[in-house]
Structure 1
Amino acid sequence: MEKRKLKNSELDRKSISEFKEAKKTPIIVILDNIRSLNNIGSVFRTSDAFLIEKIYLCGITAQPPHKDIHKTALGATETVSWSYAEDTLDVIFKLKEEGIKVYAIEQAENSTMLHNFKTELNNKYAIVFGNEVKGVQQKVVNLCDGVIEIPQLGSKHSLNISVSTGIVIWDLFSKMTFSTN
């Protein structure tokens, strides 16, 4: 069996307009005070890969255009819908009023381990990722419908926000897209 790597021209990439018109995965990403521009760009790139509906950039989280965001986003700031809000709580209040389930991605009491989290058909989810040092603000965690935790077995119990985003988005995307329930 041949294992030839595919060329970029063979990847069936969507144009910006095709991406904008495509049916989106019902996931919204909220970045709560992310300080690293490279992490922000990585979140955009992962969100593009899985047709995420929208990203909210909150608090100190930088906004495109910025060369350091662009360096890791590779143009995903042009495809993925995004907006800025000064206060993460305002975004969560708004989304919950719209019937969207909001979950903090954090280590907390009574959290649900990611592998045990069940998505429900026809639900839209917002997932909140926090600051690289302090995590998701406690007042934000308090307002969320729940907390999802990524199981970790090593000594650090700390993942980079861009890695956490990739893990959680893939898990939710695969449950929503490939689940037979």
Structure 2
Amino acid sequence: MRKLLYEEILAERHTVDTVKETLRHPVHVILHNIRSSYNVGSIFRTSDSALVSGMTLCGFTPHPPSKEISKTALGSLETVPWTYEKDILKAIQHEKDSGRKVFAVELTDKKKLYTDLVLADYPLTLVLGNEISGIDDAVIDACDDSLEIPMFGLKHSLNVSVAAGIVIFESVRIWNEIQK
């Protein structure tokens, strides 16, 4: 085993033009009231890597143009389709009207693990909330279901960009497994 050379990695990488034409995974991401521009940029980068269908930024979530978002997004602002909608409930309704099942990524009294997605859950939208307070009750009520990442330590939370990475990539992995 050896580490790939940078040139080898580049040879396999999409260009901005080819990634825009590539079939995307049926996973959409909504960010609601995220405080940190750096978290938003990191989630853009993760969403590009996972080839999600798009992102919707809501509430007071920072949105492009932003130097801080661009710094952590590393060019993915050009490759991830995104919109801004101030009203999260309108954004959720739009996703439902588009035929997507909407999941709050949150600890709730209904414990559905993020690893338990099935074909009937796709296409889907993942809603991620504020770094401190999580997702508001009214937003949880508007979602179809919730997904939980189990917590085993003292702290019962993850950084929102870390949680996004876990759930986005697992939902893509499950989708690809179902398609085999």
Q: Can you give the 5+ residue segments of structure 2 that lack an aligned partner in the other structure? A: none
8 Å Cα contact 2:101-2:121 kept in structure 1: no
Give, as a single letter, the amino acid of the residue that structure 1 aligns with 2:152: L
Residue 56, structure 1, aligned to residue 56, structure 2: yes
CA distance in 2, matches of 1:32, 1:180: 30
Q: 2:5 aligns with which of 4, 7, 13?
A: 7
How much does 1:15 deviate?
0.8
- Cα drift, residue 180 of structure 1: 6.8
Write the mapping of 1:16-31 to structure 2, written as runs, cut at 5 A: 16-31=16-31
Alignment of 1:142-157 (within 5 A): 142-157=141-156
Deviation at 1:63, TM superposition (A): 1.0
Change beyond 3 A, Cα 1:65–1:112: same
2:140 is the counterpart of 1:136: no
**Runs of 4 or more consecutive aligned structure 1 residues displaced over 4 Å after TM superposition:** none
Structure 2 residue identity aligned to 1:51: L
SS in 1 for 2:69: helix
Once the two structures are superposed, the pairs formed by residues 1-181 of structure 1 within 5 Å of their partners are: 2-3=1-2, 5-11=3-9, 12-115=12-115, 117-120=116-119, 123-179=122-178
Deviations 1:8-31 (A, max 9, x none): 321211111111000000000000
TM-score, scaled relative to structure 1: 0.94
* SS in structure 2 at match of 1:114: coil
1:75-104 CA distance string (max 9 Å, x none)? 001100000000110011111112110000
Decide which moves more: 92-101 or 171-180.
171-180
The answer to whether the Cα contact below 8 Å between 2:45 and 2:72 also exists between their aligned partners in 1 is yes
Q: 2:144 & 2:170 partners in 1: Cα distance?
A: 18
Question: Secondary structure, in 3 states, of the residue corresponding to 1:28?
Answer: strand
> CA offset at residue 121 of structure 1?
6.2
- Kindly indicate which of the two structures has a greater share of residues assigned to helix: 2
| Identity, % of aligned positions | 41
Q: RMSD value over aligned CA atoms?
A: 1.4
Instruction: Describe the superposition over 1:114-141 as per-residue Cα deviations: whole angstroms up to 9, x where unpaired.
Output: 22x2221692100000000010111110
**Change in 2 beyond 3 A, CA 1:57/1:21:** same
- Aligned pair count reads 178
In 2: Cα distance, 1:91 partner to 1:168 partner: 20
Normalising to structure 2: TM-score of the pair?
Answer: 0.94
In 2, Cα distance between equivalents of 1:94 and 1:16: 27
- What CA distance in whole angstroms lies between the structure 2 residues aligned with 1:130 and 1:17? 31
Kindly indicate whether the alpha-carbon contact (under 8 Å) linking 2:24 and 2:52 is maintained by their aligned counterparts in 1.
yes
